Structure 1
């Protein structure tokens, strides 16, 4: 199905030019902090994910022919025998972005639509991976299905990735129907488990609509052999409804206007939205996947910077 022409204003519909322009703003950001700082991924594969080059392997007895530059003088003096430190070349770490562009993401009450915030996060994460020297690919979940881009290390791959996100984003429309429990995010995670295999960094960017216990099991399975990070995109209205006004909810051709100034409407709706947000966050925490919460009401990159700092502090 051809994509309808949309106006890429950067708020309701993502702009490819703006996503590409995020490259310089991504400099200095990393999911894996350099020494001596801590990594937010320190629970799983931190020793392998600390930059490129050589990583410490083991401390063993010296044998003739070993490089004397690798002598560990402290261990040698302590045990009275020469010990050397051995190193191994770090393995390649591809980054795979799972980007949600379902109809549930086509909503925004303040600055951006959730779908646009997700697109911005995907672009920033892609630039971060490329600047770290990693290969980067994506699985973009949209209304037309899943577009899979295998990881490559090039600016052309980042551009192709951003273009795929924009294509899926521009297929969204107020006339589309959103299914709360469509199961497609779980299906995407199953596909990712098969595609990623081992030693990937997987970033899941979504509002996590329709998740449940099966999602929890899939995230746990994915993180057994990979590093996984969840970026939960949410709208500020989930935390605090306006005191007055009318909120129009659209699904397909059906539109319902609710007077949120009325307590019998505002209170149960606010409880439902806040409760659902906390339920999803709790499920993600149970999966032991690092969780970064990003609001559509503020600058996506600055929030990402703060969230990375917060998790790095917790990892110390």
Structure 2
């Protein structure tokens, strides 16, 4: 993968920073990647703390050796089969993995290219991914993931180096800059399923999966795949929404356009408005319901507040 040249980066940076992100912006996020942690031990005000969410596994354990029991060994590590066979107590010895894989699933589909007042959802998602990537690197864990759009996805294997993080963020920028207004791609739902299927193929076990999306296109198949992934891994969902999306269902009159044609929806068209309200509310709520069902921590994000402030509020102390 090639990081964009300085000349090209300068040309791209002429875009509005609230609509499109840049590699320079995501690189500078490393200086804001503090005040939160993805470690198992969480502050009391963290969304990940408490009994209502699944505990983070942290780094996994590797089997090291089998040896005879010594005074002070934890009896829970006793191997009773070997003990019965040899007639002497034996225990299993484990060593903690020094690195953990962190997979970032970054949504850059057409539905993310929306923002009513602040930034677009796609920019917020890119910034969350950058914060998570830099924080993971600081914790000496490996980071990689999948950046997916309505048309395709790019998988980057987890590694631990600053250059690798820059390559990952460069791909996030490339997918982000490819977004444009117009008719949405009809494969948006399928791309979400394919992304989870690809995650299941590469995730292994004892990894941390951070899903950053608006949840549009979530269906029963996605829920089944997430359930399977969560059996041997930890999942955190970063749910990015725009304030206007929560208000659309209650608006009495609006003009909706696909970039080519437009239609006016008013309170007089009761049946059409009810159908529209159901679609909007369901698209947002389905994601929340699934997360609650499988006890997956759901971190809410909006397009108005700084992404680093929101992440600190959810995962730790707010640091000025």
**Alpha-carbon offset, residue 296 of structure 1:** 1.2
- Given the superposition, is the C-alpha separation of residues 139 and 248 from structure 1 closer, same or farther in structure 2, using an over 3 Å criterion? farther
Question: Aligned residue for 1:239?
Answer: 246
Question: Aligned residue for 2:5?
Answer: none
The correspondence for 2:205, drawn from 198, 209, 224, is 198
Correspondences of 1:1-316 after superposition (within 5 Å): 7-32=14-39, 34=41, 40=48, 46=56, 48-49=58-59, 62=70, 88-90=95-97, 92-179=99-186, 182-241=189-248, 247-251=254-258, 253-256=260-263, 258=265, 269=276, 272-309=279-316
The alignment's C-alpha RMSD in Å is 3.8
Rounded to whole Å, the distance in 1 between the matches of 2:255 and 2:157 is: 39
| 1:275-304 deviation per Cα after TM superposition (whole angstroms, max 9, x unaligned) | 432232112221221111111122211111
TM-score by length of 2: 0.75
TM-score by length of 1: 0.76
Rounded to whole Å, the distance in 2 between the matches of 1:271 and 1:25 is: 39
Count of residues paired in the alignment: 286
Of residues 136-145 and 200-209 in structure 1, the stretch that sits farther from structure 2 once superposed is: 136-145
Of residues 138-147 and 39-48 in structure 1, the stretch that sits farther from structure 2 once superposed is: 39-48
**Alpha-carbon offset, residue 148 of structure 1:** 1.2
Of residues 300-309 and 249-258 in structure 1, the stretch that sits farther from structure 2 once superposed is: 249-258
Question: Aligned residue for 2:84?
Answer: none
SS at match of 2:235: strand
**Alpha-carbon offset, residue 249 of structure 1:** 3.5
| 1:54-98 deviation per Cα after TM superposition (whole angstroms, max 9, x unaligned) | 9xxxxx9535xxxxxx789xxxxxxxxxxx9x7633353111101
Are the equivalent residues in 2 in contact too, given 1:180–1:209 (CA < 8 A)? no
**Alpha-carbon offset, residue 234 of structure 1:** 0.6
**Alpha-carbon offset, residue 190 of structure 1:** 0.7
Question: Aligned residue for 1:76?
Answer: none
Rounded to whole Å, the distance in 2 between the matches of 1:40 and 1:223 is: 15
SS at match of 2:32: helix
RCO higher in 1 or 2 (8 Å CA, sep ≥ 6)?
2
Rounded to whole Å, the distance in 1 between the matches of 2:229 and 2:106 is: 16
**Alpha-carbon offset, residue 27 of structure 1:** 1.7
Of residues 177-186 and 232-241 in structure 1, the stretch that sits farther from structure 2 once superposed is: 177-186
Rounded to whole Å, the distance in 1 between the matches of 2:162 and 2:15 is: 22
Of residues 16-25 and 273-282 in structure 1, the stretch that sits farther from structure 2 once superposed is: 273-282
| 1:144-202 deviation per Cα after TM superposition (whole angstroms, max 9, x unaligned) | 41111111111111111111111001111112424376321111101110111112111
**Alpha-carbon offset, residue 29 of structure 1:** 1.5
**Alpha-carbon offset, residue 258 of structure 1:** 4.9
